[in-house]
Amino acid sequence: MSTPSTAWHERAAGLRLDGRAVINGQRVAAVDGQTFAKHSPIDSRFLTQVARGQAADVDAAVMAARAAFDDRRWAGKAPAVRKKILQRFADKILAAKEELALLETLDMGKPIQYSLSVDVPAAARCIAWYAEAVDKVYDEIAPTPDTALALITREPMGVIGAIVPWNYPMIMAAWKLGPALAAGNSVVLKPSEKSPLTACRLAELAVEAGIPPGVFNVVPGFGHEAGEALALHLQVDAIGFTGSTRVGRRMLDYAGRSNLKRVYNELGGKSAFVVFEDYADLPRAARTLAGSMFFNQGESCNAPSRVLVQASVAEEFTALLAAEAPKYAPGDPLHPATELGALVDETQLRTVMGYIESGLSEGARCLTGGRQARTETGGFYVEPTVFAAATPQMRITREEIFGPVTAVIAFETEAQAIALANDSSYGLQASVWSDQLNRAHRVARALRAGTVHVNQYDEDDITVPFGGYKQSGNGRDKSLHAFDKYTELKTTWIRL
Ligand code: NAD
């Protein structure tokens, strides 16, 4: 079957694809010329060669960032000037919206409508929001005796290594860049080898906006090469990492083996979606669940992949959910109406299909989906999948799948629901659905997660912190709290 051509296919054919690093404001090949081939998950088509950064490339980028920090070419600018430049950066991202959205879709397979309406605007808004904060966050004076004055000031930390995943390449980069740059740091960004192209383009736009060379550098490459070199580098003061819990452990190890740099981990999740029988609008809950679960092909850290439903309504709710799921039929990501795109690569496809097989073999009931889709296009597609009759011991309810697969477990009492929801090594996000005000508050308070939603799941804003309890991480992205990650607090005592 050939895919019908859309305007986006035509634009894609003429798109400039450049996978070189950006170091000290310049596009550069890797020092030893190494590259790797990047293919599109949409149809496995070759996109471009990408610089395969090694320790030497990382060293060049870190030293450029160090020099930029030490001569204060960025931190030393008046806050109002830094603000203006960052605002220009955000404007340039918006002005390049179609190009960036197309790059993001080609690179990681998400539907073009969401790259356009979610990813690019969210990345721009993040930079613009932190730009606004630059000249509005004040330092403190401590309440000391008359004999002395104590100033408590925030100072930029220095060189920040940002290592990000492939599922929201631009947004994850922006969540690091916004607060780190606004606070006056320099940044070396290592995008995922699975989706490096928009990060490289962002660095070019930053230079065009007037961010001085060396302040924001991008070194593409693999985790065990460029990522490891960055996390071990002695001139990196902090690592802002988003990715798997497995690699997050390594970040702590790298810091211990090098210079005890700060490590901020934003890691995986297995978010519980808890539905009580007293919630009247079950169709709305099912719609919201499907929308959040299948958004981004289920490749979201906060996907509601553990559904806990009170036994008296479990059958009704599961049927509603199973009826919603097929509305997210996998389609061509370049088609403007597609809701569910391609998984990022064949490895991810195999992982997701492996979980589906494990759910079946462990005795869960697959109500809808469960198969690969669009096999004729050469890309990596899986049907939206709903399991019923799952148990808390199954791999599909314990492990992060990172694909369009969710599983329903029935519970009897409120206490059981709380215990089940908290029975996870993760604690990123959760939601409680109940029309009883006191129950909703009680359960929300008892859930061990960084974000808890009540009777909704999809609200999100740059103004609120995002991060996890337990093995979902130790930091918070977004909001003014993110400044804590990229600033040092200094106390200066002055004798009066
Ligand atoms: P990953 O951990 O495999 O990779 C993340 C980044 O780390 C990539 O840039 C990768 O190249 C790099 N990396 C891999 N191995 C490395 C190593 N040995 N040393 C240094 N760097 C290394 O994760 P992924 O598959 O890209 O992303 C999916 C994960 O990210 C999921 O677990 C998801 O939940 C998580 N995630 C979390 C959040 C959050 O805010 N908490 C947001 C998005 C994604």
Per-residue pLDDT reduced to its tens digit, 5-19: 789 999 999 999 999
Percentage above 90 pLDDT, the chain: 98
CA distances from 402 to 11, 56, 127, 238, 244 (A): 30, 33, 27, 27, 10
Q: If you average pLDDT over residues 152-178, what whole number do you get?
A: 98
Please indicate, yes or no, whether the overall pTM of this predicted structure exceeds 0.90. Answer: yes
Residue 6 has a pLDDT of 84
The one-letter amino acid code at 383 reads E
CA 279 to centroid of chain Cα atoms: 31
pLDDT score of 2 more than 70? no
Our CA dihedral for 298, 302, 305, 308, rounded to 10 degrees, sits at -150
User: Per CATH, the architecture of 4-267+473-490 is what?
Assistant: 3-Layer(aba) Sandwich (3.40)
- Indicate if ligand 1 lies below 6 Å from the C-beta of 183: no
**Across all residues in the chain, what is the average pLDDT?**
97
pLDDT tens, residue by residue, 326-381: 999 999 999 999 999 999 999 999 999 999 999 999 999 999 999 999 999 999 99
In testing the pocket of ligand 1, which one of 126, 163, 219, 399 has its CB within 8 Å of the most ligand atoms? Answer: 163
What's the CA-to-centroid distance between 405 and ligand 1, angstroms? 20
Kindly report, residue by residue over 19-31, the tens digit of the pLDDT.
999 999 999 999 9
Catalytic site includes residue 366: no
pLDDT in tens, 46-86: 999 999 999 999 999 999 999 999 999 999 999 999 999 99
- Closest by Cα among 423, 360, 421 to 386: 360
Quick one: DSSP state of residue 326?
Answer: G
Say how many Å lie between the CA of residue 344 and the centre of ligand 1. Answer: 13
Nearest CA-CA partner of 197 in 108, 301, 125: 108
Number of H helices, E strands in the chain: 17, 23
Does the domain at 272-454 match CATH 3.40.309.10? Answer given as: yes
**401 has a pLDDT exceeding 60:** yes
Strands (E), 90-227: 140-141, 148-156, 159-163, 186-190, 216-218
Q: What is the pLDDT of residues 416-465, one digit of tens each?
A: 999 999 999 999 999 999 999 999 999 999 999 999 999 999 899 999 99
User: Does residue 169 register a pLDDT over 60?
Assistant: yes
Residue 321 reports pLDDT greater than 90: yes
Using the predicted structure, report yes or no on whether residue 4 has a pLDDT greater than 90: no
pLDDT at 458: 84
pLDDT bracket for residue 187 (50, 70, 90): very high
Which atom from ligand 1 is nearest to the alpha carbon of 428?
41
247 lines ligand 1 (CB under 6 A): yes
Q: State ipTM.
A: 0.98
Q: Is the CB of 237 under 6 A from ligand 1?
A: no
pLDDT (tens digit, 9 = 90+) per residue, 123-132?
999 999 999 9
Mutate to test the pocket of ligand 1, among 242, 265, 293 (most ligand atoms within 8 A of CB): 242
Please state, in angstroms and rounded to a whole number, the distance separating the CA atoms of residues 171 and 194: 15
Looking only at the bridges linking them, the beta strands covering 365-368 and 385-388 are: antiparallel
3-state secondary structure of 308: strand
pLDDT tens-place string over residues 115-149? 999 999 999 999 999 999 999 999 999 999 999 99
Listed by start position, the domains of the chain span 4-267+473-490, 272-454
